[in-house]
Each structure stands twice: as structure tokens, then as C-alpha cells.
Amino acid sequence: MPAALPTPLYTTDWGQACVGDSLDLLPRLPAESVDLVITSPPFALQRQKEYGNATEDAHVDWLLQFAEPVKRVLKPTGSFVLDLGGAYQRGRPVRSLYNFRVMLRLCDEHGFRLAEEFFWHNPAKLPSPIEWVNKRKIRAKDSVNTVWWFAKTDFPKADVRRVLAPYSERMKKLLEDAESFYRPKLRPSGHDISRRFADNNGGAIPSNLLQIPNTESNSPYQRHCASVDVKSHPARFPEKLPTFFIEFLTDPGDTVLDIFAGSNTTGSAAEKLDRPWMAFEKDRTYLAASAFRFVDELPPEELVTLWNRLHSDDLPVKVNRQQRELVLMERNTRYRTKAKPK
């Protein structure tokens, strides 16, 4: 029987956040107990980031260590969604192939199926890399991440009807008066486009190009971090990204896991969708700050109280939208302080 997970750093109504290396924590989960693993690991960028990364080849080998542990905990109908940013080779205007190597090795060596490739377009991304885009102006800015959707079987759980996109204005007019705007006919390709094309299905089937700006600048998470003088996580994906895959690939009550949780955007998305979630993160400071995603507005001194509690040995900390009531109950405890954390 696997060892139990360590005491969570904090819990919410739907989830738990644990400090630790996922290579240690994944074997502690029961086999076939998770419906969706969705994560964004540190990227294999050439410029060293403060949260740590490795050279390209070492990064690929490191990331592949998680393949079998992830596969073991996934249910037969489960999915593994991996967001990987691109990179250039060191000192050259030539793209790295590391993300494609990860994809090929997960399939060839570990038996994952590539259910579909997605591309996350962040129109708000700053021009980079600076040398080739800003200075020499010989490359366009890199604003798309590959997002691989893997599965253990050919038919993982999925329902695109849960992630329908809004109809275009032209399609809305067609639905209002199909006779005036559309005539069923045989396409040059030989496809017979029937009148079902004009049925209102509640939305359009989305493409595998997900255009989601990453513009979080004044969220409660950001404001709360600033209030207690804590630096927010430097690499956060927008909540709409995990929300799309959680809705697409799981049902309410299904378990969602992020093995590189960072600021726990995945857990926040799962919480709002009534999915049990788990977050694994090595850096306690980042994970402690992620609790602010589950807290409504609080005075700065009460946020400091919560922050200090998250760094105590009295765990787990229960965090929810009624956090103010919990903090007020602790006004006279040893965690109360007016000093900001170092």
C-alpha cells in the first residue's frame, strides 16, 4: 500500500495543496484515481528563470521521469494535458525541438496516445526573444505554446458540447433566418451540407487554437501578494486555459491534479467547476501564496495573519471565501502580527 500524502499546506471546499516533489507524491496516490492531470512545467528556456529550469536535453529527460507515475494514477478514461512553451537554441535564431521530443517520447516510449494537439495563442505576450525579434528584427514574436492532450486509451472521456464557442454574428443571422441566407448544396469537395448545418446547437465547435490573453494584473491573487509584500509566481497561465480542459475532459466530481502547481491556477479553476482537485508544488512560498486565489477581499493585516499561519506547523490551513471569519477567530492567537513577512 502506498504511503499517505503529507499533511496538506491548505485545503478548500474542493481541494488540497501539498508541498513536495511530484516524483515523491505521485506514487502515494492510488492507481487509476485521477481523471485529469493538467500542468505547465518549467520551460526549457535558455535564459535562466528564477523558478529554475534546465538545458533542453536535460529538461526533456527530467520531464519524462513523470510519465509513468502520471500514467499509473490516471483512470483508463483519464487525460494528461501538458502546456509547453517554445524556445530558441542558445545564441541562434533556430527553434528548439524539445517540446516535440517530449511529445514523441511520451507516445513512443511510454504508450500515451496523442489525442489532439492544441495551440494556446497569447496575443498579449511581449515580443521575444529580444535578440532576434526586437534588435535584429529577423523573427516574428513567439506567442504560441503547444498544449499536448494525451490519453491512456483511444477513447478518453471528452465532450466538446461542454466547451462550445459563441456563434459569430454571421452564424446568428443564419440561425434567425436560414432560408434567406443558406441553401443546402453539394460542396465541390463532394460533401453534402444538409440543413442540419443551420440548426442551433447552442454554440460553435471550438478549434484547437485557443486564443486566451495572459493579462492577469489586478486579480485578488496579485493584490493579496502585494498586500503582504510577497512576490507572485513569475510564470502563470490564465485561468481560462485549465478551465477549458477541465470542462472538456471531466464531469463534476471528477478529480483534477496539477503536478507543477505554482500559483495553483488549475486548482482555482477546478474549485469553481465543482471538481475535487490536488496541487503538488515543491516551493512552499509559491504554494502558500496560491492560497490567496481562494480568498475574498481582506484587510492587509488579516492577509498577513493568514500568510503567517501558512508558514506555521499548524496544518492544514482551511481556506475558503469566508476566510475573514476564520481570521477574526484567530485575532488573539500567536499567529496574529502586524509585521510583514520577510
Look up the domain containing 234 and give its range.
Answer: 10-165+207-289
Q: Is 170 exposed, middle or buried (0-12, 13-18, 19+ CB in 10 A)?
A: exposed
Q: Which residues contact 41 (CB under 8 A, 6 or more apart)?
A: 63, 82, 84, 259, 260
Q: Are residues 157 and 16 in the same domain?
A: yes
Structure confidence at residue 2 (pLDDT): 67
Residues 178/198, Cβ–Cβ less than 8 Å: yes
Residues 250/35, Cβ–Cβ less than 8 Å: yes
Q: Are residues 84 and 183 in the same domain?
A: no
- Total residues found in the chain within this entry: 342
Q: How many domains does the chain have?
A: 2
pLDDT under 50 in the chain at which residues? Answer: 46-53, 324-342
Structure confidence at residue 43 (pLDDT): 72
Structure confidence at residue 171 (pLDDT): 63
- Global pTM exceeds 0.95: no
Q: Are residues 82 and 227 in the same domain?
A: yes
Q: Are residues 177 and 128 in the same domain?
A: no
Residues 32/337, Cβ–Cβ less than 8 Å: no
Q: Are residues 80 and 191 in the same domain?
A: no
Q: How far apart are CA 271 and CA 256, in angstroms?
A: 10
Helix (H) or strand (E) holding 118: strand 113-121
Residues 290/261, Cβ–Cβ less than 8 Å: yes
List pLDDT tens digits, range 279-304: 999 999 999 999 999 998 788 889 99
CATH no. for residue 51?
A: 3.40.50.150
Sole residue written with cell 441566407? 181
List pLDDT tens digits, range 142-182: 999 999 999 999 999 999 999 998 877 666 666 666 656 55
Q: How far apart are CA 68 and CA 26, in angstroms?
A: 10
Here the cell at position 331 is: 485575532
Instruction: Assess if residue 263 is contained within a domain.
Output: yes
Residues acting as catalytic residues: 40-41, 83
Distances (CA, A) of 195 to 151, 198, 202: 35, 6, 16
Q: Are residues 186 and 58 in the same domain?
A: no
Q: Are residues 104 and 116 in the same domain?
A: yes
Q: Are residues 44 and 181 in the same domain?
A: no
